[in-house]
Structure 1
């Protein structure tokens, strides 16, 4: 059972993390000053985090976990904190994503979050109107945490179809995009990730209305996530799932095969040098 389940429901996730950190510190017989010296974080930052007033980084959680002998509890709790920081409408999809054995993604505008580099993700998230730098960093941490599904013993199959415009849109500047395109070439070599590109010359409009992801499971119906300007929709309604499958199949028919797609990615990446 998670620390969230055992705690006062009125407490916020950051307060729960702070309370757990303080509990483990006391159990280890350390003062804030001593823990700060061991972890090389400032005492003031430790104080803010123990009071639930600052969001810990992944590095902070892991170093405190190691220093206090918490057995992975703080690192695990950090993942729950970042999950709780996600919009409510997206949390349902995070659960779906964790359980799926296969994911099919269509993206007409940006590289899908599961394959974004840290700098590219930061640039994408900064485009949200009114977002603060602290919110940006929290969202980046959460996005990188999602990508850990590919580090599991049996990661999901992930089939991605991108519009060619994604490769040519300099999000974050040419250096950030170049590194992102290099990373796509790297992950495409993994046996459970496939990448195809729909050429601009095709002129198709089937997928221009927005991106989506199809999640498939063993023994249960598919679920889809459909992007929109304000928030996405997660649904397993048979009519919606069937419509998205039909749209995905139509888009994928016009895509280059993987080996041609990767060569195109390589050519575009060189053009940004």
Structure 2
């Protein structure tokens, strides 16, 4: 039995032993019933936070977390797993992306095209990584979703990742995302020619009762830190980028214009 299928089956077995319906366990853990169903069938990759909440709810004594570690050992890089916990707990996320759409706003097809660009990655690893990325987006369906603010370089809208249809759907997804009062997107126009932040993307996570934490992209392993000096530098860059970005209505217009070019 595949590790993800075994993990899901164990969740289901323990849930039934506790006389809980999917609806009840979903309410206790504050995840959606649909996500719980997918995971119990082994069709989605759970986060550590999901495994921990189910472990607590079902009084598994850490066994579900241990199974999760085995089941997901190649779904996300080890260095990235610490950030997943930060992302799950954040009350606000602010990101700058000069090259690609942020993972939390990617369509499945776009994510697959991006992940396939990793040298030497197998198709099995691609599919598990795509599933893990889609599962991360469940934070927007929670009762208390985080505030998400993204500043993107205009080049992101025109980089042909995955082909015309993939790009059209991805830009359609961005336009739909900003309809949520919890999600904001601003575009930095190419005509500005600015170089602030051009060397890489980053994310700032604001956590309740804890210092801000940042994730910084790199060509090898991303870097996660809450070191005050690093956070202040990243915050300063983000403020500069946001000041140069177009306001919401103008940014949406740029997204819509680019979407038409991919039709």
Asked whether the two chains share a fold, i.e. TM above 0.5, the reply is yes
Q: Look up the match of 2:197.
A: 207
Match for residue 89 of structure 1? 79
The reply to whether residue 178 of structure 1 matches residue 168 of structure 2 is yes
Partners of 1:22 and 1:244 lie apart in 2 by: 42
Query: Alpha-carbon deviation of 1:88?
Result: 1.1
Tell me if 1:102 matches 2:92.
yes
User: Which residue matches 2:177?
Assistant: 187
Q: Aligned residue for 1:229?
A: 219
Residues 9 and 40 in structure 2, CA contact (< 8 A), matched pair in contact too = no
Query: For 1:228 and 1:248, how far apart are their aligned partners in 2?
Result: 17
Change (3 A) 1:61 1:235: closer
SS at match of 1:119: helix
User: Judging changes above 3 Å, is the alpha-carbon distance between structure 1 residues 63 and 166 closer, same or farther for their aligned structure 2 residues?
Assistant: same
| Counterpart selection for 1:218 from 176, 186, 208 | 208
Which residues of structure 1 form unaligned runs of 5+?
A: 1-12, 29-57, 66-71
Q: Is residue 244 from structure 1 mapped to residue 228 from structure 2 by the alignment? A: no
SS in 2 for 1:256: coil
Instruction: Mark the CA change 1:204 to 1:16 in structure 2 (over 3 Å): closer, same or farther.
Output: closer
Q: Which of 253, 258, 263 is residue 268 of structure 1 equivalent to?
A: 258
1:259 alignment partner, SS class: helix
Aligned partners of 1:93 and 1:225 also within 8 Å: yes
The structure-2 alpha-carbon separation of the partners of 1:199 and 1:23, relative to structure 1 and needing over 3 Å to count, comes to closer
TM-score, length-normalised on structure 2?
Answer: 0.77
Partner SS for 1:155: coil
Change (3 A) 1:83 1:116: farther
- Secondary structure of the structure 1 residue equivalent to 2:246: coil
Q: TM-score, normalised by structure 1?
A: 0.75
RMSD of equivalent CA atoms: 3.0
For 1:110, what is the secondary structure of its paired residue? coil
RCO greater where, 1 or 2, for CA within 8 Å and sep 6 or more? 2
Distance 1:20 1:272 in 2: 39
| Residue of 228, 236, 244 corresponding to 1:254 | 244
